[in-house]
Structure formats: structure tokens, C-alpha cells
Amino acid sequence: MRLSEHLYRTISTIAGPLLFVESVQEARVGEMVTVHTPDGRDMEAEVLEIDGQTTLIEVYGTTQGLDIERTTVSFTDAAKKVPLSPDIVGRIFNGSFEPKDGAPMFIPEKRMPITGAPINPAARARPADFIETGFTTIDGLNTLVRGQKLPIFSCAGLPSKEVVASILKNSRLADPAKKFIVVFAALGLTFHEYSFYMKTLEAMKTGYVAFVNMADEPVMERLLAPRFALTVAEYLAFEKGMDILVIITDMTNYCDALREISTAREELPGRRGYPGYMYSDLASLYERAGRIYGREGSVTMLPVVTMPEDDITHPIPDLTGYITEGQIVLSRELHQKGIFPPIDVLPSLSRLMQKGIGKGRTRADHRNVANHLYKYYAKGRDLRRLEAIVGRDGMTKADILMLDFADAFETGLVGQGMARRTVQESLDVGLELMKKFSLEVV
Amino acid sequence: MSNSSGAIQSISGPTVSSDLKGLKLYERVYVGHAMLTGEVVRLERDKVVIQVYEDTRGLAVGEPVKGVGMPLTVRLGPGLLGGMFDGLQRPLERLREEMGPFITGGRELYALDYMKRWEFSPALKENDEVAGGTVLGTVNEGAFKHYIMSGPEETGTIDKVRGGSISLDEPLGEYKDHREIPGCHEWPVRIARPYRKKFAPAAPIVTGQRSIDFLFPLARGGTAIFPGGFGTGKTILEQSIAKFADVDIVVYVGCGERGNEMADMIAEFEELRDPWTKRPLRERTVLVVNTSNMPVAAREASIYTAVTMAEYYRDMGYHVLFLADSLSRWAEALREISASLEEMPGEEGYPTYLASRLSGFLERAGIVETLSGKIGSLSMILSVSPPGGDFTEPVTQACLRTMGSFLMLDTSLAHRRHYPAINWFQSYSLYGGEVAEYYRTKISPAWDELLKRSKQILQQEEALREVAEIVGAEGLQDADRLLMRTAERIRTDFLQQNSYSEDAFSPPEKTFSIMNSIIESHDLAAEKLKQGVSLEEAMKYGEK
């Protein structure tokens, strides 16, 4: 603990967002630092590494205009903490946690470290409560449950924001008395997308908290905003007993920011230039979803990932898929056919579905209906390749039936436009479809 | 041995350097006022580099560093079964009771409960000689007889031994030279526990998974990997094997995986029963959990912590199955640590010692004669998560050189919801020859023949499928269409298995009889076809 604040004028190097400060006494890793610029601004920074008396600090925000002679640095003796209060609901902040909605900053009830702490696996409650999103492809075939993290894998140009907006508007918890509070983290958003999302959030009757980093705002904030959002989510969920839905868009911008900062730190690059620790870093965000045994609330997460080059094996969707409990994959092909939501159910998966469906939760025949729909649709899709080679005429009657089924599945079951279906309706649509094609459901 | 104290000189990610003198390589150290656990990974004349197992945030230069005088060890004694530990063997249940639901680090808790009382029946009396690994007596740990053994390096002559109610806090007795006889001991995790002799694997592990037991069997004392991209069902398959395999004890490591999945598994293991003994599964299981958001260095240590506990039960003469999900996360942890040590990277940034570390680790599997003359086995099944589902990556490739079974999980099968998604063309088992003998004598002499036939049919189907893509299914001959129909039955009725149904566990008798009836009906239908019966009719005969 320092008794007096010392102003260091010993910067030796400035490289991108990094400053080297010499002769520093007792700096701590993760400690917050204030950088005073020659033109009188104050900027936040964090201690990254310490080697003897040389301390490496990373500045949040742009380092343009800093110099070695006149810039000074003071150490705060505290780790980065997030101010918290129930009053936060309904507010919009930027990526540095400054109000963006014109209202004054709230008075914090408490502060918690931005990085959070891992939930003890022994303290986790198994996610089991069904969430109805209104989409048949999710509710019926890839069911979402409370406390799950289920990313949306999209491609550039696909309507991921409309899908997210629709989920926001239509999601219902099993207990109708309960409502979701949405915590929204926007990373590198264009103004066009921003205005769309804000309209959606404001139309919701329940509360929301938003952290918005625009496309032209500092890259470092893209690493901070999701952590602010998750710390707020954990606080509201596990201390205030609320059910929180965290939407982060777009994780691809997050990972690119991580790569940019990592390169500035001169770290060894891994696959496609992304740092080797990206898996652990992503896990430190995604794993904050969940439920805690003996506590009320929950954190459910729907991150959006835009797959570069439509490639699901790209490191960003790949590492995400290894951490999250499944994925919802949007398809360009379906979108071009004019189907909304363009969710391709074959590569989509919800790992926790089993726990959320069945008798007493959704419907006794849920698993069975879903399995059969999958089976027949997969078969139909397989046969499309054959059709491309031999033509429709060269195929058996049974095969042609499967082809027609796959088409009807896409237009009638996947495609539902803006209409909301309850899970009962979703399952009935599936059953009727199979009945129409006289496909057996054992 | 060093009890002197030094200070932190520099901090970079999970590595810290200090001026502390007199440390040994891989010695355990306490770092900072928070007493974080670390391990010495590099020694220089005036500097020591330490890998810290906990979050280094908040550490400052000048804080104390203290040597423990021992490498990273685990405590071995009764009370491990049914427990759940982190990568450093801290009991997670008790950690939760003391700290609440979040792990904030810097807390040392022993894995064993030193207060718990056990009913001890001594096996030795006065003047008996104790060599390393001698059985001192037994206590009942759930359904298991827990053999309390002397440490592998402990020797002495018994003066007295106490029977009856004991706790691990008090000695079991005394040696002639007045040393106390402890009820538990410590063993360094990075050193394999010694045994007398190793044998080649010969008997299968029955997993209850038809595609594994029949096509690609696992062996007691053997090793297997299953690589697969995300969503191919690695975790479900590992957990199914953990539930149903015919072994005595299961040690399961969740290495850098999902917290929710572990919570689910714990709940399930409370409810389910071992199909062989009908006892709750939890009683035969030791869980080591280091989820992906827990510190990365402890993830690296977790597989060593777990395998040492597995070896301890093997030394009692039990058949132990070690499951790790996933080995790739371990390798990535190794890579992260290597990068923070600024070592020269090898392929894809992994350190060049990845392959040798891995093969050294895998050799800890095997059937052995233990120091006390019992026969025990340690088998390993490890999942691998290749980036982008690409099997040419270094971790999968490094495993292939030392593995006995390779079960490749196929993304396209998983998309079709064919589970377990084991690809039947690319997978292999090197234990087929050794374990066939067992199935021939125990189940049926026709086992081999059936295996050959089914593999043939699946292979022919693949060839026919290519033809069918060109000429259409209509253009195939009847005999070929029958074969494709049979292959489909093998795929759907035999290879696919729903882990959420009654069928999740298929005993070898059932495995055999399903395949037998598929092949029999195929032969019958083929016979009818030859007699000139139409395909539709012939298939009806076959299905009767």
C-alpha cells in the first residue's frame, strides 16, 4: 500500500499502446495506472508485466500525442473494478464505462474486479430450464436452456442481427412471471447496426444494460466492454437473482482486437496470427455463463460470431465451438432462398438440449420428433448431391419423396418469417410435415 | 532442501522469476504474500524461473518467494474415491464450503480428510519387514477394500501396529527405530510410481459401445485416443465409457473443458449406477476438474495429478481407467507456458518436447505386477480436439505414434446424428489380435468371422455408393442393393447407439447377437435372391 501518490516521469519507450516506465517501486500486475498526457488529459492504463524496476503498462485508448519528456504516470494501487448498482438497468455506456445516454453516472453500491473469478465446478447447478425463443429450429431442434452459452455463427451479409432481435423480442422463460434482463455488449459496431439494435432494445418492455463500442472507437475497449457486461451480468444474476441474457456482437471484432493488441505486445502469433492463448481468453468470457447451486439467477449467453470467409474451421468459430455448449449456424444458401431465419439445423447443435426437453418440460414426444425430423432432413440433403449428378428422373420414388420433404422442411418448418411459434406449435409443425409425406414416427 | 526466502524480480503472465537460491528443478514454491503455488521450471546461476499455478494478478516485485523442499506432489490415502479435485488436488467441495461459489485462489487445502475415522485392519505384526509398497492393512472405502501401503521408498521393521478406528492424522504404529508409520503418503506427480514388472495388454475393456467393442476394441493397460472436431460427441462418448466400462475404478480429468458439462456429469454420476456392481457410479470415480477458465498452468498439471492417483489405485491391484477430456487443452497449456518462458517454438508454436512429454506420459499406462505382488492395470482413453477438425495437427500426430487405438470421430457422421460418430474406415485398434481370443472363448467362436464379414460389407458399401452416385440406386444389381440395405442396417441398428436410452450400454452378448442376426438375414435374403425371388420378397425373408 502506498501512502503517497508518486508521479513518475520515467517513461523510456512508447510503442503502440505500450509504455515502459522505469524505476517504479512496488507495481502490481493488473494494477490500474493513470497516464497524464502533455495536453492535460488523463488516460487509464494497466500494468501488464514487471521486470525488476521496469514496468510495462498498456494504455486503454489511443496513445497519439503522448511523448517521453512530459507525459507522467501515477499508480493507483487498485485492480480494474466495475462499479455496480441495481440502478444500472436501463443505462447505455461506452466501452470505457462512461454514460452514453446523457444521464449522469449512477452511484455504485459496490465494485467488483472486471475479470471475475471462475465458478467452482462443484458450485455449478446443471442448466435444465427450457427457454422458448419462438424459432422452431431452436426450440424444436436445438433447444436453449437457462445458463447455456450458445453462439450464433453467421457469415458476412446474413441477417444475424434480425435473428438476434427476434430472439430478444420473443424469448420467454418457462416461468412466465419471470423476465429476462438483457445485457448487451456491442463491439466495433457500425452506426447502422447500432441504431437497429437500440430500436430493438427500447421496444422491449423488460430492462437492458448496453455497452457500446463503435467501429471508430479504441480497439482496447473491445476487450473491456464484454468484461464489463459480464461482471454486470454476474452481479445482477447471482446477487440480485435476475435472469440475464447476455448478447455479445460481434466476437470476431473481439478476437481481431485481441490479435492487434497481442501483436503490439510482440507476442508469438499462433494460428492465423491470433495469440496462442486465445482459447483461454475466450473461455474466460464464455465460461462466465451458468447457474450457481442454491442461487436464483442465471447468466445465459448468445454471442454472435461472423465466420471469416464463411469458414467454420477458422480459429474464431473453431475455438468458440470448443468452449460453448453448441452453436446455431446460419446458412447463406437458405438466406438466398429467402428463408428466415436461415438456420441450418444440420451443423447446429445444442449440447444441453437433452436436459431441457421432454415430459414436464416441453412435451413427452419432443426428443422423438426432433430425431426423426433430423434423420429425414439429413437424408434429403444427402440425396440432393445425387440429384445433381443423375437428375431427378434417375431416382427412386422413395428418394424423390425425401427430396421433396427436405424442400418442404426448409420452406415450411425452418422458414417462419417474423411469426412466433410456441414449442407446442413448433413440434406440431414438424409432426404435420412428416404426416404429409407419410413418414413414420415410431 | 531450502527454507530460505527470496523475492520476486519479474512477473510475466503465469511465470515469475526470483533471486531465491538453493532450489531444485521442479521444486514446489510459494509465491507472494498470497502464497500462490508454483513450480521451478528453469534455474540460472542468479535467477530462478517459476511457473505459477494460479492467477498472478496482484503480485508485486519484491514479494517473498519460498521453497517447499519438495516437488509438486499429491496426497495418497483413503478418501479419494467419490472426490472432486482441481489440477493441484485441492478438494473442490470443501473449497466451495470455505470460499463460496467462486474460486479466488491462494488457498491450500489437503485432498484427504485428516479428521475422518476409518476402521483399519492391519495385515502386519511385530518384526514384519516393510519394503516400498508393502500392504500395511486395509480400510473399507465405499465398496472397495482400500489397501494402505507404505510409500514406494519407505522401509523398516514393524515394532507395533494399531488396529481399529484410525484417522490419517495419527500414525498407524511405529517402526523399530521409532519412526511413525503413516496412513497416507505423498508422491511427486511427474514421476511414475514404481512397479515390479510390466505385461503386454491381452484382455479387452468392455465399454458397452458396440462400435468400439466389436470393431476397434480397447485393451486393459492399453491406450486410445479419439480425436474429433467440436460437436462430434467426444465428451458424451468419454462419459459413456466412464459410466459403463468394466473396470474397478475410473479417474476422469476434465482438462480445460466446460463447467456446465462437468456440473451435469457430477449430477449424473450421483444418480447412475455401475452396470457391473450396481453401486452408485460416484463411488468408483475420482474426478479432477480444471475448467477452461481456471488457471492455465494448473491445467497442465492436472493430468499428472490425476494419473498419479490412478497409479495409486492400480498399485492396490485394481483395474483403473484413466479418461482425459481433452488432451489438446493440456498441450495448449504447455504451449502457453512455453511461450511465456520464451522457448524456441516448434510446429504450430508447440514446444519441441511436446511429443516426448506425451509419450512419457502415455507410458504410464499398462498392466503391471505391483510392488506388493498384485496385478493391476491402468488404461488410458484420451480425447483430442484438433483445431478445425484437421487431423494433421501436431497433437493428434504426436499421439498416433504411441497409441494403441485410434477412434476417429467424424464431423459428417455427427451432422447426420450418427452417434457415436466413429468413422469405421479411418479408425483402427492395434489390440484386435490380442483381445479376439477373449471374445472367441467368452462370447462365441464365430466372433472373428462375423467381424470380418461386417467389415467387408461396410467396405463394399463404400465402393457401391460411388457407383450409385453415377448410375443411381435404380441402376444397381439386386445383390448390390441388398448389400447396401444390409450395410445400412449395420450402420443404424448396430453402429449407432443412443447414449440417452436403454441401449447406452450394450453387453458383448447383445453386441454379438445384433450383428449375428443382421448377417444371418443378409445371407438368407442373398440365398433367396439366387433362387430367383425378387429383391423386395427376398428382403422380407431376411427380416423375418
Residue of B nearest to A386 (CA): B469
Q: Does A147 touch chain B (CB under 8 A)?
A: yes
B469 contact A CB<8A: yes
Residue of B90, B104, B230 best to disrupt the A interface, most CBs of A under 10 A = B230
Contacts of A225 (CB under 8 A, 6+ apart): A95, A185, A186, A187, A211, A212, A213
Place of cell 514446489: B28
In terms of Cβ atoms closer than 10 Å to its own Cβ (0-12, 13-18, 19+), residue B325 is buried
| A270 and chain B in contact, CB less than 8 A | yes
Residue with cell 442465471: A298
Rounded Cα gap, residues B360 and B450, in angstroms: 37
Interface predicted TM-score of the whole assembly (ipTM), two decimals: 0.87
Could B60 and A313 be called an inter-chain contact, meaning their C-beta atoms sit closer than 8 Å? no
Contact with chain B for residue A396, Cβ under 8 A: yes
| β-strands B117-122, B135-141 pairing | antiparallel
More confident site: A397 or B313: B313
Interfacial B residues in 156-215 facing A (CB < 8 Å)? none
Q: Which CATH class for the B5-71 domain?
A: mainly beta
- Chain B: residue whose CA lies nearest to A286: B293
End-to-end CA distance of chain A: 70
Q: Which of residues 39-98 of B touch A (CB under 8 A)?
A: 56-62, 84, 92-93, 95-96
Chain B, 103 to 162: residues with Cβ < 8 Å from chain A are: 103-105
Q: Cβ–Cβ of B292/A280 closer than 8 Å?
A: yes
Check B259 against A26: CB less than 8 A apart: no
CB within 8 Å of chain A, chain B residues 265-324: 266-267, 289, 291-294, 296
**CATH number of this structure's domain B197-432, picked from the four choices 1.20.1260.10, 3.40.50.300, 3.40.50.2300, 2.60.40.10:** 3.40.50.300
> Where do runs of H (alpha helix) occur along A351-390?
353-356, 366-390
Backbone angles phi, psi at A16, to 5 degrees: 55, -130
Contact state of B231 with A327 under an 8 Å Cβ cutoff: yes
Are B387 and A121 within 8 A, CB to CB?
Answer: no
List the single residue in A with minimal CA-CA distance to B235.
Answer: A351
Which of A290, A354, A389 shows the shortest C-beta gap to B259?
A290
**Nearest in space to B325 (alpha carbons), one of B269, B285, B265, B385:** B385
Q: How many CB pairs under 8 A join A and B?
A: 206
Indicate yes or no: CB of B103 within 8 angstroms of CB of A147.
no
- Could you give the CA distance from residue A79 to residue A77 in angstroms, rounded to a whole number? 7
Instruction: Pick A211 or B280 by higher pLDDT.
Output: A211
Q: Which residue has the higher pLDDT, A325 or A53?
A: A325
Lowest mean pLDDT among A315-319, A334-338, B132-136, B531-535: B531-535
Q: How distant is the Cα of A102 from the closest Cα of chain B, in angstroms? A: 34
Q: Select from B56, B84, B258, B354 the residue whose CB has the most chain A CBs within 10 Å, as the one to mutate to test that interface.
A: B258
Q: Write out residues in chain B with pLDDT < 70, as ranges.
A: 1-4, 105-106, 542-544
Answer yes or no: are the C-beta atoms of A162 and A196 closer than 8 Å. no
Tens digits of per-residue pLDDT, A135-186? 999 999 999 999 999 999 999 999 999 999 999 889 888 887 888 899 999 9
Q: How confident is the model at residue A394 (pLDDT cuts 50, 70, 90)?
A: confident
Give the model's pLDDT for residue A212.
Answer: 95
The full set of domain ranges for chain B reads 5-71, 197-432, 447-543
Contact A283 B256 (CB under 8 A): yes
Q: Contact at 8 Å (CB) between B259 and B438?
A: no
CA distance B75 to B308: 10
Average pLDDT over residues A411-433: 95
Among A6-15, A134-143, A187-196, which stretch is predicted with the lowest mean pLDDT? A6-15
The alpha-carbon radius of gyration of chain A (Å, integer) is: 25
Q: Residue B27 in contact with residue B69, Cβ under 8 Å? A: yes
pLDDT at A412 over 90: yes
Q: Would you tell me which CATH number, out of the four given (3.40.50.2300, 2.40.37.10, 1.10.1140.10, 3.40.91.50), belongs to the domain B447-543?
A: 1.10.1140.10
